Amino acid sequence: MTLEKILHSQGFGTRRQCAGLILAGYVTVRGELVEDPSAEFELEGLPFTVDGDGWIARSKLTLVMHKPAGHECSRKAVHHASVFELLPPPIRERGVQPIGRLDADTTGLLLLTDDGQLNHALISPRRHVPKIYEATLKHAADKSLCEQLRTGVLLHDDNETVRAEAARLLYDTLLELTISEGKYHQVKRMVAAAGNRVEALHRVQIGGLRLPDDLAPGGWREITATELAAARSSPGAS
């Protein structure tokens, strides 16, 4: 693929803008200055720099993020900052999307990708990829809350009973809840339907992938192949 097309695919602007960057001497490939926009390279894994910043070209890009509180998952956030503001412009431009949105006040594991098939595979309720949350409760609870959530609760304004795949108390005010659907405010609504209230919510796991220890709130990086395989698998499989 030509270098101009590679830069365009990686979010560096229109093809004309990318050709301009190359002609103006802003781009190196594998450490060498390249000033010819039509120079050909293999895209996947190509190391390049633009104005001194280093990148690795990917045909599909998936990121793992520790979502901080106070950030919406939409591109045009209305009431808060957007998680997209945590990403550099080229990654925003290439169209990565959150794999399942978290509420603005929810923290924890968030995956973003421009791979539509992966996005569908991880959020489709039919694929049953479990998501594990830790919910801080307003009122101290006992086992009966977990039993109710596992048996099923009727959400307000919903005719369906939804049930947790697993629920256990880590403390009397800290609930670990596993669900594989992604209904609007699902955890908060389930806990409310069971007579309690979520004060804080943190996602710790998707499939078999735990929130990586190296990511502080607001931190993100490209997902590794091992982590991606874990996200697609069941808990305990990684």
Task: Catalogue the active-site residues.
Answer: 103
In whole angstroms, what is the distance from residue 210 CA to residue 12 CA?
Answer: 32
Closest distance between ligand URA and the C-beta of residue 203, in Å? Answer: 7
Q: Which stretch binds ligand URA (CB under 6 A): 21-29, 60-68, 166-174, 186-194?
A: 186-194
Compare residues 4 and 103 and give the one whose CB is closer to ligand URA. 103
Closest distance between ligand URA and the C-beta of residue 130, in Å? Answer: 13
Work out which of 60, 75, 120, 185 binds ligand URA, going by CB under 6 A. Answer: 185
**Pairing outcome for strands 174-179 and 107-113:** unpaired
Query: Counting Cβ atoms within 10 Å, is residue 178 exposed (0-12), middle (13-18) or buried (19+)?
Result: middle
Residue located via tokens 């901080």: 68
Work out which of 186, 194, 223, 230 binds ligand URA, going by CB under 6 A. Answer: 186
- Give the DSSP H/E element, type plus range, for residue 23: helix 15-23
Q: Which stretch binds ligand URA (CB under 6 A): 1-9, 31-39, 98-106, 167-175?
A: 98-106
Taking alpha carbons only, the member of 119, 183, 175 closest to residue 146 is: 175
Closest distance between ligand URA and the C-beta of residue 15, in Å? Answer: 38
Which residues partner with 176 through β-bridges?
134, 168
Q: Name the site residues for ligand URA (rule: CB under 6 A).
A: 102-103, 106, 185-188, 201
